[in-house]
Amino acid sequence: MPGHATPLRLVDTSPAEADTKEEQNISSAMNISLAFPQATSAAKFPPSVSDYYQLDDLLTPEEIAVRVRVRDTAEREIAPIIARYWERAEFPFELVPSLAKLKVAGGTIKGYGCPGLSVVGSALAMAEIARVDASCSTFMMVHTCLAMLTIAMCGNKNQKERYLPSLASLDRVSCWALTEPDYGSDASSLSTIATKVSGGWILNGQKRWIGNSTFADVCVVFARNTQTNEINGFLVKKGSPGYSAKKIENKIGLRIVQNGDIILQNVFVPDEDRLSGINSFKDTAKVLAVSRIVVAWQPIGISMGVYDMCHRYLQERKQFGVPLASFQLCQEKLVRMLGNIQAMALMGWRLCKLYEAGKMTPGQASLAKAWNTLRARETVALGRELLGGNGIVADFLVAKAFCDLEPIYTYEGTYEVNSLVTGREVTGLASFKAPKRRSAL
């Protein structure tokens, strides 16, 4: 009748049909090429254009081959699918075979099926993965430069033979458990304990922020020996009674990395899985000093990817009838990003060479990690500005990289703690712990 609204028509939709329609709507919404055709998404990764000072000239042919191999795989196999895994905070197990084929797991370790790369080659591999996705790089870094490196540096021949070959092929995955709920920067004060019993050890305690922990086959666990009060290392297998790992939810960065809380309740570890080369925290610190070399290269890779994305985006995206690349302010920010990358890469390369020459100090490693993450923070922030509104969606990489850099700025020693490691080295004065107050007279 005139003046009467047309009645709503109720449609009986089955749950299966509703799910299908929802999936179609999500698929349509995620097709950024249709929603925003003015610029190419990161699913089709831009070419690398950040080597302005031709720093590849410093690399050996073998190192260049590693870079090319990893870059090709990252652009072709990781880039097209990684945004949706990041959005869901799920690990892309389908990529593990591709990462295994790169033959970079194990990094600088020689023998036992490991690639025996140069320090530069190993660092480049992690940086090139980070250029496309920081989470995948962190997965490989934890597996290679922490867990596998600890076994290689501190394990005996039997332990290396039993664990390293399958870890190098990624048939098994590892994690590295040092940090605890009460002890992050003050890791040497950890409270997890190891008690000697007949035939092995009993571990009790808790670990936090442990990457790969929810699915790792073997975990390198650090605990305090109740007899000596020193830090020891242990290899704990997945499924050991009393060992459990639960995923940490609601992260804003490195969402693909499965960080977990580990609970150790009377976990028995046989004597054969006690790492004989770890008898104090100093032994653990030796591993950290080496791993910080690679961690210093992760922000380089992230910054390279952001620069490459911005370089392409500014030429494709037009406002006021011209490409954004033609504006002075955009060019200035792009150049500042480029300058940061050249400086970061030179520091990272020099750090590798110092280590290869046996000259690297812990302070030098800490300075590179602290300074590079600081400069990368500025670089990705500039990239976020350059992309305007598209700087807050993962489709164009920059938003994802912006968030992913924050945990890297913090892990493997915060910016402040790494700065103080270097400060202690250059002044000879430690400032980590406040001096004890003098008693009143």
Q: What is the mean pLDDT of residues 401-420?
A: 94
Q: How confident is the model at residue 180 (pLDDT cuts 50, 70, 90)?
A: very high
Q: How confident is the model at residue 11 (pLDDT cuts 50, 70, 90)?
A: very low
User: What 8-state DSSP symbol labels residue 273?
Assistant: G
Closest by CA to 345, choosing from 88, 59, 117, is 59
What DSSP letter does each residue of 365-427 carry, written as one string? HHHHHHHHHHHHHHHHHHHHHHTGGGGGSGGGSHHHHHHHHHHHHHSSS-HHHHHHHHHHHHH
Give yes or no for residue 188 having a pLDDT over 90. Answer: no
Q: If 0-12 CB within 10 Å is exposed, 13-18 middle and 19+ buried, where does residue 353 land?
A: middle
Which pLDDT score, from 0 to 100, does residue 6 have?
36
Phi-psi region of 86 (alpha: psi -120 to 50; beta: other; left: phi over 0): alpha
Residues 6+ apart with CB under 8 A from 104: 66, 70, 115, 117, 122, 125, 126, 140, 144
Q: How confident is the model at residue 20 (pLDDT cuts 50, 70, 90)?
A: low
Identify the structural domains of the chain with CATH numbers, from first to last.
Answer: 55-172 (1.10.540.10), 175-279 (2.40.110.10), 283-427 (1.20.140.10)
At 310-329, the pLDDT tens digits run: 999 999 999 999 999 999 99
Q: Has this prediction a pTM greater than 0.85?
A: yes
Distance CA 262, CA 255 (A): 18
Q: What is the mean pLDDT of residues 377-390?
A: 97
DSSP β-bridge partners for residue 218? 174, 237
Give yes or no for residue 1 having a pLDDT over 50. Answer: no
Q: What is the mean pLDDT of residues 372-401?
A: 97
Which pLDDT score, from 0 to 100, does residue 34 have?
81
Helix H, strand E, coil C: the string for 54-97 is CHHHHCCHHHHHHHHHHHHHHHHHHCCCHHHHHHHCCCCHHHHH
Phi, psi torsion values for 397, nearest 5 degrees = 70, -45
At 46-60, the pLDDT tens digits run: 999 999 999 999 999
Q: If 0-12 CB within 10 Å is exposed, 13-18 middle and 19+ buried, where does residue 328 land?
A: exposed
Give yes or no for residue 405 having a pLDDT over 80. Answer: yes
Q: How confident is the model at residue 228 (pLDDT cuts 50, 70, 90)?
A: very high
Which pLDDT score, from 0 to 100, does residue 76 have?
97
DSSP β-bridge partners for residue 268? 202
The greatest distance separating any two alpha carbons of the chain, rounded to the nearest whole angstrom, comes to 97
